[in-house]
Amino acid sequence: MHSVVGNLLLFTLLTSTNMKFSVASSKSYKVDAIGTIVLNTSSRTFRLHNVLYFCSIPGVILSLGHLLKEHFSIRFSNDLFTITTIKQHDQWFIPFLFPADNSIFVKSLLSHLPSIKYIDESLKNISLLLHRRLAHLSVRQLTGMKKSNAVLGIPNSSFFDIKLCNDCSISKSDHCPVKSASRQMVNQPGDLIVADLMGPYEVSPNHKKYILMIQDAFSRVVVAIPSTDKAEAKTYFINWIKQFMNVTMYKIKTIQTDNGTEFKNNILNDFLMSNGIIHEYSMQYKHHQNGCIERTNQTISEMARTSMIASKLLSFLWPWAFCHSVWIFNCSLHFNIDKTPFELLGKKRPDLQMLRIFGAKSFLYLHTFKKYFSPRVIVGYHMRILEDSKGWLFWVPGKK
């Protein structure tokens, strides 16, 4: 003897079950869950245990035997029947619709519950109710809990319906990338130059807080220029553009940056206009539109951070760690291309003979030692390969 309910609002406790429910036609149906329902009156709340839940049933089937077993008394009169508890004698009047054997089908029972003012349509499925009780866990988490059987009370049902949860759509939403065909045809160096300013970082010994990252989209060559502030970055960028076009003999056609004031200003715009260079901006909060330099920044930042940690040097030496990592990046293969960025732009293969470990302890010969018995060397640490000389840059603690 069981009562059958099809609305989750009446339940306060639900557990999964493998029970099947048979009707007069001998056809059996899978029970979704079993639990306790609450029926409210103006004076008291009724609780009916071991009630079967079917998500496909629109109303409620109250079993007379089940009610009597739970200490209810039932009385019929004309078109009404009265359910009365033996102890409290509270009465609840419901329209009598259809008698069948020992069961009574009460259609739209919720319309007779004065305490229920609103029916949430999303609660018609048991998985949605569990999803809300568990603080809106994801489909993956709920499915994993059901498969592992690590928690009791998880119903044996699909959780794909929780994708329709409006609360999750509002609170867990993320921006969608603006996918559009690229307007740039990159066929040679200079066709597209991308730039970004990283920082601020810890102030370095030479007073640098930012670093300007510039990359040629064709060759993937990267240049890192430490900067004191944002305003200084545009001057470095203009000087680099002039040097690039003069040394490589390639014409820069387009540059792409974000909307930062270091790139969006009259000085830079006037220079680009005078040289016939197109300036494109990424949309606000759409960093993926400048994704070429963003991915490169992440790679080089990881290289620089790892080099700093491995060297055990002070963190204010970060500008030289960046420059050291950029040099290695330009001499490495990327994107399944059999040529390095250095070779694609400079037409010759890079030579690694001068490469040293960042932060490697070094002994520097002193050409101007003052006394005959004074030390001839001083201890320093390798920072990078010089670009304007055939040599290295070292950091000596206590020296500028």
Task: Say how many C-beta atoms besides its own lie within 10 A of residue 111's C-beta.
Answer: 10
What confidence score (pLDDT) does residue 277 get?
96
pLDDT of 93: 43
Under 8 Å between Cβ of 321 and 308? yes
pLDDT of 167 reads 78
Q: Please write the tens of the pLDDT for every residue from 304-333.
A: 999 999 999 999 999 999 999 999 999 999
Q: How far is CA 70 from the centre of its chain?
A: 51
**Beta-carbon neighbour count of residue 34 at 10 Å?**
19
Tokens of 29: 């149906």
- pLDDT, tens digit (0-9, with 9 covering 90-100), for 32-87: 888 888 776 655 667 788 888 877 666 677 776 777 776 666 665 555 555 655 54
Tokens at residue 378, please?
Answer: 């001083």
Beta bridge partners of 21: 29
Largest CA distance in the chain: 125
Among candidate residues 237, 224, 245, 223, the one with its CA nearest the CA of residue 269: 237
Q: What kind and span of H or E run contains 300?
A: helix 291-311
Residue reference for tokens 């302890």: 361
The token pair at 319 is 């500008």
Question: What's the pLDDT at 180?
Answer: 53
More confident residue, 328 or 151: 328
Q: What is the pLDDT of residues 254-271, one digit of tens each?
A: 999 988 889 999 999 999
CA distances from 233 to 22, 220, 299, 300 (A): 78, 21, 22, 19
Domains detected in the chain: 4-170 (no CATH), 192-308 (3.30.420.10)
CA 352 to chain centroid? 39
pTM for the full predicted model: 0.58
